[in-house]
Chains A and B, each alone.
Chain A
């Protein structure tokens, strides 16, 4: 039987935790399943930066990835693995919705599971948050956990 892969967006928040719990419940019901936990660092290539920021950017990026792994991704992956699931962790910079969809494509994910985060500011109210963007652009089914 072929493997079913769940792509789970986590961000260290309770909403992410709920998404992970939901994914684990679904995975338990299947014989052959895998969880891909994604931590996405919001980043846009179209921001304006000073020369000094540019000079240090590579360094900062490495630090951001290290911190994300150390504080959020690695503990989550370890805990999921200890419960007997096949699991993989991904940390990436970029647009959350875009990257989750890409990771789903690359890992033949059957669905993306994310927690719903309340609209955080004017920008999200106007342009829609991550979940809305994901729902409208993803190539695989998306489950949003309230």
Chain B
């Protein structure tokens, strides 16, 4: 077992040479980082996104869609049947008052959400709509709705098979259900899967949970400090270094106050973001119908985007998965700290996550971009004008800057608010993912302060690399790592889904016969 771990760690470390090489010179630091980075990760990206022979359809997208569909059918559309119950659980209607002081369903949900709500919702959607057109939104929403079932499955397992230690702390996540769950079913290979998953989680933490965040936070800061004339332009390492120092203070220095402030400000920013989107939609209410028309038409015709229908579909599914992480396994780590006797309740609560993240927030972003008219359309044909492989935009921006200019076209000062929100979202996502990555890391190398600090320092170095590298290279690597997690995790979910089904049937039967006590809300007698 140990030799397997060591072998995988060695393989993984081959991905890291960028760290050492990138520190030679400061003049063309950003370009160097980008070149080295793209060169050392390219092979992995190509493997994960390899299309089916003779098509342009990446196998990994099919993998996620098929899984979400299977879980949706296998659990009988649990995402719709249990939606109301999920809300009751979050409200605390079924929480035993004697457990007060433990992690509540609400807290587990919001902790997990702060890891997923973030740049995926702002920048990721802009990438999807920028390449796939408004039609990508349709597929994104569909993927979000189906992904709720994947999330339900993994989070139930995360709680069921977590480790509870003597000191009362808990550790959960796919690593644990892979080893314990497979053993319970008498199926071999769980331990190997857990190791592979942990390696990819470390990669995902460094990629999507770190570099992508740093990169987009930097892009946003460049945008509001003067664009091409900004002193930050081409100097991503400055943003990276500052972010890295703050993250270092929190995760290594243990300065809780920074994290605490962020945890309190981020939900507020999320509400502000949705609020601003709603204001824009209300003031442009006459265009909302048209925007939905674009989304539906584009979903099936492509409206002239590169790759047509398939292009829109791939972008929609990819960005949804990247944003809500359903099937990826990260949420199973975050949700496993909740105090509950019924693992299924946490699964039910977790299905709200893709809904809030993708169906609500991502759709808002997509609608605002579509309505704002930042995507250039040929007035004669009604088709989008292409600029390379993506749609031409009014100011040539992409990613988070596209979202920013879309919001800015209605509310001129909003880009400043958005810049603050993006940096905070990026920061909170980094903190969440540093935790996921750390859990995977300690699973591989064992617990201990020194070992933990090695990972935390690597994590901080990658923030600088992420801010300095260009979007294309970073986004490819981030996607590839996060999807690689999903490859392993979904295999485990297939193996373990009968266990979830058994739990689900038993729980809902007891709920129906009132064997599960309700402590608050409707139907409870006043004492």
Contact = CB atoms under 8 A, between A and B. Distances in A.
Given A50-B263, A56-B169, A61 B101 contact: yes
A43 B101 contact: yes
B479 to A, nearest CB: 23
Nearest to A98: B97
B337 A51 contact: yes
B100 A45 contact: yes
B111 A50 contact: yes
Interface string B468-491: 000000000000000000000000
B103 A49 contact: yes
A12 interface: no
Nearest to B104: A45
B100 A94 contact: yes
Contacts of A49: 103, 107, 110-111, 263
Instruction: Kindly name the residue among A51, A61, A62 whose own CB sees the greatest number of chain B CB atoms within 10 A.
Output: A51
Contacts of A58: 102-103, 168-170, 339
Contacts of A93: 100-101
A81 B259 CA distance: 45
Given A41-B101, A94-B97, A50 B169 contact: no
Say whether chain A's binding surface is mostly helix, strand, loop, or mixed: helix
A55 interface: yes
A92 B168 CA distance: 18
B168 A45 contact: no
A59 interface: yes
Interface in A31-90: 41, 43, 45-52, 54-59, 61-62, 64-65
A45 B107 contact: yes
A93 B115 CA distance: 27
A4 to B, nearest CB: 19
Contact of A59 (B168, B259, B527): B168
B403 interface: no
A54 B432 CA distance: 12
Contacts of A43: 100-101
B178 interface: no
B329 to A, nearest CB: 14
A54 B439 CA distance: 14
A61 B102 CA distance: 7
Contacts of A45: 92, 95, 100, 104-107
A48 B267 contact: yes
B107 A54 contact: yes
Contacts of A92: 97, 100-101
B435 interface: yes
Say whether chain B's binding surface is mostly helix, strand, loop, or mixed: helix
Interface string B247-284: 00000000000011001101100000000000000000
B171 interface: yes
A132 to B, nearest CB: 22
Nearest to A40: B100
Q: Which of under 10, 10 to 19, 20 to 34, or 35 or more describes the interface residues of A?
A: 20 to 34
Interface in B94-126: 95, 97, 100-108, 110-111, 114-115
Contacts of B114: 48
B368 to A, nearest CB: 26
A64 B101 CA distance: 9
Contacts of B95: 45
A54 B527 CA distance: 32
Contact of B103 (A54, A99, A105, A139): A54
B367 interface: no
B99 to A, nearest CB: 9
B333 interface: yes
B92 A57 contact: no
Interface string A105-116: 100000000000
A102 interface: yes
Interface in B295-337: 333-334, 337
B167 A59 contact: yes
Nearest to B432: A51
Instruction: Kindly name the residue among A45, A46, A47, A105 whose own CB sees the greatest number of chain B CB atoms within 10 A.
Output: A45
B201 to A, nearest CB: 13
Nearest to B436: A51
B107 A55 contact: no
B38 to A, nearest CB: 31
Contact of A55 (B92, B106, B170, B527): B170
Contacts of A46: 104, 106-107
B527 A105 contact: yes
B101 A48 contact: no
Interface in B471-527: 527
A57 B103 contact: yes
A142 to B, nearest CB: 17
A76 to B, nearest CB: 20
B431 interface: yes
Interface in B115-147: 115
B30 to A, nearest CB: 31
B259 A50 contact: yes
Given A50-B432, A58-B103, A59-B169, 8 more contacts: A45-B104, A49-B107, A50-B111, A54-B334, A54-B338, A57-B103, A58-B339, A93-B101
28 contacts: A41-B101, A43-B100, A45-B95, A45-B100, A46-B104, A47-B107, A48-B107, A48-B263, A48-B266, A49-B103, A49-B110, A50-B111, A50-B260, A50-B263, A51-B115, A51-B333, A51-B337, A51-B435, A52-B435, A55-B169, A55-B337, A56-B168, A58-B102, A58-B339, A59-B168, A61-B101, A61-B102, A93-B101
6 shortest interchain CB distances as A-B pairs: A93-B101, A45-B104, A54-B337, A59-B168, A58-B168, A93-B100
